Chain A
Amino acid sequence: MINKLFILISVFFWTTFSFGQMDEEVLLIARNTGKKVVATGDTIRTMGFALSLMENPPVPGPTLEFVEGDSIEIDLWNVSQGAPHTIHLHGLDVNQQNDGVPHLSFDVGHMDHGFYKFKAPQAGTYLYHCHVVSTIHVQAGMYGLIIVHPADESQTTWTGGYEYDVSMSLMMSEIDTVWHNDTIIKHEYDSTLAVHKVELPYYDPQFYLVNGYSDEQIPEEGMALNTAVDAVNYIRLINIGYKGNRVVFPPSFEAKIIDSDGRPLPAVETSDTVFIYPGERYGVIGVMPEEGVDFISVDYFDLNTGVFENTQEVPIYTEGFVQLPNQKRSNYDLTVQPNPFDQTIFMELSAAKGGKLQVSILNLNGEVIDVIDERIISNESIHHLTYSNATLSSGTYLVQVKVDGEIVLTQKIVKN
Chain B
Amino acid sequence: MNWKKILPGLFFCFVCSQSIFGAVVHDTVYINKGELITIDTNYYAFYAFNESPDFVATNNRINLAVGDSIYLAVVNTDTENHGFDVKNTTDYDVEILPGDTVEVPMLFSEPGAYIFYDHLDYPKYRYLGLGATITVDNFDGDQFFWNIKDHLGDWNDSLDGGYTVDWSMYYPDYFTINGFSNPLINDDPYARVAGAVGETMRIYITNTGQGTHSLHFHGYHLEIIYSSKNSSHEGRVKDTFPIESMETLILELVPDKTGEYPVHDHNLVAVSGGNIYPNGMFLTMLIE
Which A residues form the contact surface with B (CB < 8 A)? 88, 90-91, 93-96, 99, 101, 104, 133-136, 138-139, 195-203, 242-244, 260-263, 265-267, 269, 275, 277-281, 303-307
Contact = CB atoms under 8 A, between A and B. Distances in A.
Interface string B236-249: 11111010000000
Given A135-B271, A261-B240, A200 B216 contact: no
B41 to A, nearest CB: 15
Contact of B268 (A202, A242, A244, A281): A242
A224 B271 CA distance: 34
A208 to B, nearest CB: 15
A383 to B, nearest CB: 41
Contact of A279 (B172, B258, B266): B266
B167 A200 contact: no
A133 B277 contact: yes
A23 to B, nearest CB: 21
B266 A99 contact: no
Contacts of B237: 261, 263
Interface residues of B, number: 45
B269 A95 contact: no
Contacts of A242: 267-269
Contacts of A198: 276-277
A275 B271 CA distance: 22
Contacts of B89: none
Given A96-B219, A277-B212, A197 B279 contact: yes
A279 to B, nearest CB: 3
Main secondary structure of the interface of A (DSSP, over half): loop
B236 A304 contact: no
Contacts of B210: 304
A263 B221 contact: yes
Contacts of A196: 277
Given A93-B221, A266-B236, A279-B214, A138 B268 contact: yes
A197 B278 contact: yes
A345 to B, nearest CB: 37
A135 B238 contact: no
Contacts of A277: 212, 214, 240, 242, 266-267
A402 B220 CA distance: 39
A-B pairs with the 8 shortest C-beta distances?
A279-B266, A96-B259, A277-B242, A277-B214, A135-B268, A278-B266, A279-B240, A304-B211
B229 to A, nearest CB: 11
A303 B221 contact: no
Contacts of B211: 303-305
B169 interface: yes
A303 B102 CA distance: 36
A354 to B, nearest CB: 41
B216 A104 contact: no
B77 interface: no
Contacts of A96: 219, 258-261
A279 B271 CA distance: 14
Q: Name the residue in B216, B232, B239 with the highest tally of chain A Cβ atoms < 10 Å from its Cβ.
A: B239
Contacts of A197: 276-279
Contacts of A104: 259-262, 284
